[in-house]
Structure 1
Amino acid sequence: MSDVDFDAVYQGKPLVEGSGIAFDLAPWDIKAPQPAVVDLVRDGQFRGEVLDVGCGLGENALFLAANGYRVTGVDGSAAGLEQAGRRAAERGVDVTFVHADATALTELPEQRFDTVLDSALYHCLDDEQRQLYAAALHRVTAPGARLHLLCFADVDAGLRFPIAVSQDNLRANLGAHWDIEDIRPGSYTTSLTPEVFSRIGEDALANLGFTVDAQRVRQDEQGRIVGPIWQLRATRH
């Protein structure tokens, strides 16, 4: 996803330079934590100090911190982190935000974190970057640390996301450093609605990598489009 300018997206500019296609909200900005993350917290799947890598606008990190976890949010977009910091201040929630390359994480100390959350970062990387990323996460996590990773799935469920990945890809790129315990289908809530898709147009969406079947696409109770993900759980070697 190297052609996506995340700073531009957070500033209301086109997702891809020259495409002319901009969204009122970043497609992943639902102004709340992902429901899948809420479920993980409810089920006691986080422990100790938490790293939210690819935290974006910080909604998952803020939710975790509000539930009593010590959280560090990392992202490569300065514009996204600036907005995340403002949201944290407005809500009186304490999260440490760090501007860093997720494939290196050199700004973070070794063996610090007990749980990692990756909500929609992995699929943004190419395979070489994914392998570096797996190693970087291994370096900054404690022995036995947990990884919860949500990524776009190569599944036709009415909406097919750009840069969707396979379960085999996850195993190949993470397996050197992480014991993968489970990969299951899940759902990712977007800020997009059928009206947004209609305004942008089918051809323009296809150029961005979205495949949409209006008859089968899922929506939540607020009318937001929901797409397929893989939900992975792993433990650090």
Structure 2
Amino acid sequence: MHTHADDTPRTHDHSTDDATDHAATEPDFFEVASWDDRYDGDDSVWSGNPNPQLVTEASKLKPGSALDVGCGEGGDVIWLAQQGWHVTGADFSAKGLARAAQHAKEAGVDDRTDWWQVDAREFDAAGRSYDLVTSHFLHLPDGRMVDAVGRFASAVNPGGHLLVVGHSPAAHFTQLSESKRRAMFVAEELVAGLPDGFEVIVAEQRPRSVVRDGKTIDIDDSTLLARRTGAE
């Protein structure tokens, strides 16, 4: 069974295979080599379904240009493109981006998608700007998502939106290593990373149910949505 990207904890640009701590033996999911290895197989890693908070929030917006940071195999990029957005998918794994590009081609939206290899820990907009910048279940080590929010915000056009969604260090993740728990966050923690000129629209934990190993469990999506003030 393919894992839903939104249903498992991500470290760096993607989530781990399960919620079990194999700290002594598991790959370093904060580093690109682990993800290139993971994407070396023949099977898709993720379901390809869009993340639910993206669907909820982006469905309210007028399509324009979008950036998805930590895009993995491109499920969210493809969904946005299908809604009329022109989307850049960004990830630090070249092999993940290659898969995403192939999936976009198969979905018939390759003319509305671009790809950018970049490490979120070193993200620099470098003059690029978008109407929507989004990141789902990207987790950086040692609480660095707060800083990342500020850097992602620099790529948002006036009148545009920033949407960041992740896992909170909730009870069902107690088996994770301490480093992974420190990479998770609650939405309100990210507000401090927003620069001046942003209004917070949503900063909340959104509960939902997911199925893991045949069992239904309740989780929270840490959801931050902010709008850059100024002309549309």
TM-score by length of 1: 0.68
* CA apart distance, 1:155: 3.1
What pairs with 1:216-235 in structure 2 (closer than 5 Å)?
217-218=216-217, 227-235=219-227
- Whether 1:137 and 2:152 are equivalent positions in the alignment is yes
Is the Cα contact below 8 Å between 1:105 and 1:136 reproduced in 2?
yes
Q: Percent identity?
A: 25
Instruction: Find 1:10's aligned residue among 15, 39, 46.
Output: 39
- Partner amino acid, structure 2, of 1:193: R
> CA–CA distance in 2 between the matches of 1:118 and 1:227?
18
In the TM superposition, 1:1-237 aligns within 5 A as 1=11, 3-4=28-29, 5-12=34-41, 26=45, 29-42=46-59, 44-45=60-61, 47-94=63-110, 95-106=113-124, 108-110=125-127, 112-121=129-138, 123-128=139-144, 130-131=146-147, 133-156=148-171, 158=172, 162-163=180-181, 164-172=184-192, 174-176=193-195, 178-186=198-206, 193-194=212-213, 217-218=216-217, 227-236=219-228
User: Which amino acid is the alignment partner of residue 205 of structure 2?
Assistant: P
Question: Are the equivalent residues in 2 in contact too, given 1:110–1:141 (CA < 8 A)?
Answer: no
Residues of 1 paired with 2:129 and 2:52: CA distance?
A: 26
Partner of 1:71: helix, strand, or coil?
strand
Unaligned stretches of 5+ residues in structure 2: 1-10, 13-27
Counterpart of 2:3 in structure 1 is none
| Structure 1 residue runs without a partner (length 5+) | 13-23, 196-213, 219-225
Tell me how far apart the structure 1 counterparts of residues 55 and 35 of structure 2 sit (CA, whole Å): 25
Offset of residue 90 of structure 1: 1.3
Q: Is the 8 A contact 1:10 1:79 kept in 2?
A: yes
Which amino acid letter does the alignment assign opposite residue 75 of structure 2?
E
1:141 and 1:92 map into 2 onto residues whose CA distance is 27
Change beyond 3 A, Cα 1:176–1:125:
farther
Q: State how many pairs are aligned.
A: 191
CA contact (8 A) 1:34 1:189 kept: no
- What is the aligned partner in structure 2 of residue 200 from structure 1? none
